[in-house]
Amino acid sequence: MRIGGNWLERQETQAVLDCLASGGFQALLVGGCVRNALLGVEVADVDIATDARPETVSKLAEKAGFHVVPTGIGHGTVTVVSGGIPHEITTFRRDVETDGRRAVVAFSDHIAEDAARRDFTMNALYARADGQVIDPLGGLPDLLARRLRFVGDAETRIREDYLRILRFFRFHAWYGDPQEGLDPEGLAACAALSAGLETISRERIGAEMRKLLAAPDPAPAVAAMAQAGVLTRILPGADPRALAPLVHLEGGLPPRWQRRLAVLGGQDRGARLRLSNPEKRQLAALDEALSGMDSPAVLGWRLGAEGGTDAVLARAALTGAPPPAGWQAEVVRGATAEFPVKAADLPGLAGPTLGRRLKELERRWCDSALRLSKEQLLA
C-alpha cells in the first residue's frame, strides 16, 4: 500500500525527510497524516518519527538550513520549519512509567516499540518518504474497515492514560464506521474505567471535547458516551438526545462544536471544558437565546450570523419545532441590520430616562422582526 498527495510530495517535506535519511537515520511519516491520506481526507499536520535522537535531529535540520524549534525536546519532539511548513519530528519512544495522566518515556531505536505506545491501531501507521506504508501492528485492515481499536488490551491502555477514553469516542466519530458502532471491548473498558477521567486536566478534556463535537456527525459517538457513563463524568447534567436532530437540521452546514455543546447542556460547561472568556460569553448568549422566543432576524442581530444560525438550529433541535421557512436569509438580514434610532433622535431625554426609552424602542423594533423604521418607532 502506498500513499501520496501534495503534502507528502512537496519539496519542503521531502527535504526534511531527506536531511534525516542522508544522516543515516529512519524518517517515517506517522499518525494522523498517514491515516488521513489512506482515508482520502485532508492532512493537517505532518508528524515524523525517527530513530535519531532529538539533538541529532536539531543538528541535521540546522545544517540543512531549516529553522528548528525545540518544541518538547525532553519528550523527544523537535519542530522543523521548511518553507514555512512546520514538521513535528519525534524520536521513537517507549513508555517507562505511566500514571494515568502522563508518561515517563525513553528513546528507542525500534519502530515496534514506538508503535506499541500509540493509542489506536489506525493511529500506529507509518510511511516512508516514497509513500510506502509500514504497518508494524496490523492496523491497516482496521483502518480500511474503519474499525477503531486500542493497541493491545483496552483496559491496560486506558489505565496508562485516561484521556484515551475520550480519544476513543473522538476518533470513532471522525473515522469509525457509522453503521458499525464502537468496538465492544473498547467501549466496555471506557465504561468500566470512566472514573479515571476525574484525574485528567480540564484543558485536555476541553480540547478533546471540542474536537469530538466538531466531527461531521458526533451524535452516535456521544450517545455511546452517555450510555457508557462517560458523558456525565465530564459534563454532569448533559443530555445527548437533541444532538442527532441537530446534526440532521444542520444539513451539511459546517460543523461548529459550540452549537453542538449548546444542545448538550449540562452544568458548568465553561469551567469543566476550560472555555475561554469569549467562548463562555458566546455559550451564555446562546443559552439565553434558547430559552427565548426571538425570531431568526433578532437572533442574527443579537448574536451575529454564526451565533444566530447556531441559535435557530439548536432551538429547533431542542423543541422539535422546525425553523421557519427562509430563516437563513432572516438571520443574515438581522446580522447586518442596524437599530435605526440614535440618542440624538430623542432630544430632551438624558441619563437613565434616555436609556430606558432606547431599550423600549429596541424591544418594539425586535417585536417587529426588525421591520419598523425610525419614523414608525418615533411616531
By CB under 6 A, name the binding residues for ligand ATP. Answer: 31-32, 44-45, 47, 118-119, 123-124, 161, 163-164, 211
Report in angstroms how near the CB of residue 366 gets to ligand ATP at its nearest.
Answer: 41
Angle CA(315)–CA(209)–CA(288) in degrees, nearest 5? Answer: 30
Q: How far is it, in rounded angstroms, from Cα 364 to Cα 339? A: 11
Secondary structure element (H or E) that encloses residue 82, with its range:
strand 77-82
Report in angstroms how near the CB of residue 349 gets to ligand ATP at its nearest.
Answer: 55
HSE toward the beta carbon, residue 375, CA cutoff 13 A: 0
What angle, 0 to 180 degrees and rounded to 10, lies between the N-to-C axes of helices 257-264 and 296-319? Answer: 60
Report in angstroms how near the CB of residue 199 gets to ligand ATP at its nearest.
Answer: 14
Q: What pairing do the DSSP bridges indicate for beta strands 85-91 and 77-82? A: antiparallel
Report in angstroms how near the CB of residue 304 gets to ligand ATP at its nearest.
Answer: 28
Query: Considering beta carbons, is residue 71 or 328 the nearer one to ligand ATP?
Result: 71
Residues in the chain, total:
379
Query: Considering beta carbons, is residue 88 or 279 the nearer one to ligand ATP?
Result: 88
DSSP state of 255: P
Q: Which does 300 bind (CB under 5 to 8 A by kind): Mg ion, ligand ATP, none?
A: none
Query: Considering beta carbons, is residue 207 or 354 the nearer one to Mg ion?
Result: 207
Q: Which stretch binds Mg ion (CB under 5 A): 39-47, 75-83, 120-128, 223-231?
A: 39-47
Q: How far is it, in rounded angstroms, from Cα 19 to Cα 361? A: 68
Query: Considering beta carbons, is residue 120 or 301 the nearer one to ligand ATP?
Result: 120
Report in angstroms how near the CB of residue 213 gets to ligand ATP at its nearest.
Answer: 13
Query: Considering beta carbons, is residue 45 or 177 the nearer one to Mg ion?
Result: 45
Q: Which does 321 bind (CB under 5 to 8 A by kind): Mg ion, ligand ATP, none?
A: none
3-state secondary structure of 339: coil
What's the grid cell of residue 90? 519525534
Query: How many CB atoms lie under 10 A from the CB of residue 188?
Result: 14
Q: Which stretch binds Mg ion (CB under 5 A): 24-32, 72-80, 104-112, 171-179?
A: 24-32
Q: Which does 161 bind (CB under 5 to 8 A by kind): ligand ATP, Mg ion, none?
A: ligand ATP
Look at residues 79, 75, 56 and name the one whose alpha carbon lies nearest to residue 67.
79
Query: Considering beta carbons, is residue 43 or 111 the nearer one to Mg ion?
Result: 43
Report in angstroms how near the CB of residue 6 gets to ligand ATP at its nearest.
Answer: 17
Report in angstroms how near the CB of residue 211 gets to ligand ATP at its nearest.
Answer: 6
Q: How far is it, in rounded angstroms, from Cα 150 to Cα 190? A: 11
Residue number closest to Mg ion, CB atom: 32
Report in angstroms how near the CB of residue 375 gets to Mg ion at its nearest.
Answer: 57
Q: Is 124 in the site for Mg ion (CB under 5 A)?
A: no
Look at residues 131, 139, 203, 138 and name the one whose alpha carbon lies nearest to residue 166.
203
Q: Which does 119 bind (CB under 5 to 8 A by kind): Mg ion, ligand ATP, none?
A: ligand ATP
Among 7, 19, 32, 275, indicate the residue that binds Mg ion (CB under 5 A): 32
Q: Which does 163 bind (CB under 5 to 8 A by kind): Mg ion, ligand ATP, none?
A: ligand ATP
Look at residues 194, 193, 210 and name the one whose alpha carbon lies nearest to residue 273.
210
Strand partners, 78: 89
Q: Which does 307 bind (CB under 5 to 8 A by kind): ligand ATP, Mg ion, none?
A: none
Encoded amino acid at 304, one letter: G
Look at residues 246, 378, 372, 224 and name the one whose alpha carbon lies nearest to residue 317.
246
Can you give the binding site for Mg ion, defined by CB under 5 A?
32, 45
